[in-house]
Structure 1
Amino acid sequence: MGYKPGAGIGKKGDGRANPIPIEVKADRSGLGRSSEMKRKQAESQALQALMLQKRMRQEKEIQGNFRTRMSSKVADRHIESDLHKSQKVCEQLDSEKGLEKPAEQFFWPVASLPKKKTYDLEEGEGYSFEVQDQDGEEQEEDEEDELEPTAKLEILTLYLRNTHMYCVWCGTAFEDSDDMRINCPGPSSEAHKDFI
């Protein structure tokens, strides 16, 4: 049970071999204050690293969302452009066949559709009313506005292909359905991208 220099304390000698060092405090912070400050600093650094990782994930997500939104906008613009081209071609081909009204309201550009007439009841007082067709054209316009541009383009493309044997993306009027089937890759812009 005696002390032997270099050996540990205790019966087996596996305890502390060196005495507890004396730490002289140069500041007035108190006992245990420096270890508490180190612990808080380590927690703060870990929290900052966690926040940095979270911010990086959010930025990547925002960038991904931005790219998705922008590609969606570009695709929508292409669809609108194709729809407008199809409407102009449909108006021209229908006019060549002698049609004065489109088969569907959205088959022709809005600017070339027949306008509604208004009449003044009394010119001096400025009262006016709109004359509506018996067909209920106004209700049809509301229903057609509910269609997405993609659906409008698909319907108009089928009409042009079946009625006029015309493909907007080929820019060609075909002789018959067999000629169209052989020379046209398909009824969508994607089919024509692969073809070119």
Structure 2
Amino acid sequence: MSDSEDDYMSAEILQGVSDQRVGIATSRAHKRQLQINSRFEESREPTRPKKPASHAEREKERRDEALAKPISHESKGFALMAKMGFKPGMTLGKQREDEIRITEPISLEIKANRTGLGHEAEVVQERNDRVEAVMQKMKEQAAKHEELIEDYSNRRRLDEKVKQLVKDIRACRKVCEELDHRIDRTVPRIAWYWRSYKVIKDDEKEVRNYHKKVVDEEEEEYKYSNGQPAPADPNWDVTTPMDELENNLSNINTYLRDNHFYCIWCGANYCSPEDMAEHCPGNTRRAHHGDDDHD
């Protein structure tokens, strides 16, 4: 190699070589130029030839085109009908005012499968029957759901009525005991009119904080608040029959109204039966509050 020729490893040769990859834009202008070149190359590609129509498609096109045209006046059939008085736009046969007649030939319906005549209508009917069966089942499920909701609502209302009855009976018992004590009554007219309390014995006091002691009901002792012997206190709750609760409430309420002129729902102690009859709306909760909890 002569001295006049540049070394291929010299700095001058290396500076002239650009480190640029093909297809990668180095600037916005370069990117724009690449896009233009790509579109140009795509436009030069030959267009794909259209796929020729199949024999069935060509036959269908010819059939539709022929059926779309009216009957030609040059056909032999039209000539024979014209001799019998037929004119374009007329219908065949006798015409009636209330009857709809066709003026064009009936269109063809090509059957391309091997099913029998009327099979499509049968398939549609079966599909409609399945849809109707599903709808009927959904209606039955919806009705059953509504029935369950109504049953649940009725049970909730019944529980609320029973709770209100128990609450009213407890209030009547408390007032009855207080009013009876004012007139120096030592025992209630009916045993359950007053609340009774279980007597806790000394040996039970020692063990009640450590474990539950089982005692027979016959050995348990109950007393009223004034120390008089009493029967076991009734345990009324939501499991008690409603008829029993309504009967007990009616009995103790009648006792309070007749003997003490007291109305549990008014919360007032009247002076006389006349005063109660004048100012008290009635002897039921409904008469006072206008609700349907119970009579």
Interval containing the TM-score (normalised by the shorter chain): 0.5 to 0.7
Question: Quick check: which has more Rg, 1 or 2?
Answer: 2
Sort the Cα spacing of 1:68 and 1:129 in 2 relative to 1 into closer, same or farther, 3 A: closer
2:115 to 14, 22, 30: 30
Does the alignment pair 1:150 with 2:237? Answer: no
Give the structure 2 partner of residue 82 of structure 1. Answer: 168
TM-score (norm 1): 0.65
Q: 2:107 & 2:146 partners in 1: Cα distance? A: 52
Does the alignment pair 1:168 with 2:254? Answer: no
| Per-residue deviation, residues 99-133 of structure 1 (Å, max 9, x unmatched) | 33322233223xx2577x9xxxxxxxxxx8948xx
Q: CA deviation at 1:22?
A: 5.0
Sort the Cα spacing of 1:93 and 1:37 in 2 relative to 1 into closer, same or farther, 3 A: same
Give the structure 1 partner of residue 41 of structure 2. Answer: none
Q: How many residues align?
A: 168
Q: CA deviation at 1:85?
A: 0.5
Q: Greater shift after overlay, 57-66 or 73-82? A: 57-66
| Per-residue deviation, residues 57-109 of structure 1 (Å, max 9, x unmatched) | 33333333333322222222211111110111112222333333322233223
TM-score (norm 2): 0.46
Give the structure 2 partner of residue 177 of structure 1. Answer: 273
Structure number having the greater helix percentage? 1
Q: Is there any run of 5+ residues in structure 2 with no aligned partner, and where?
A: 1-76, 202-215, 220-229, 235-239, 291-295
Q: 2:134 & 2:285 partners in 1: Cα distance? A: 50
Task: Please state whether the residue corresponding to 1:46 is helix, strand or coil.
Answer: helix
What does 1:25-174 correspond to in 2, within 5 Å?
A: 25=112, 30-31=115-116, 33-109=119-195, 112=196, 130=218, 148-174=244-270
CA RMSD of aligned residues (A): 3.8
Q: CA deviation at 1:33?
A: 4.6
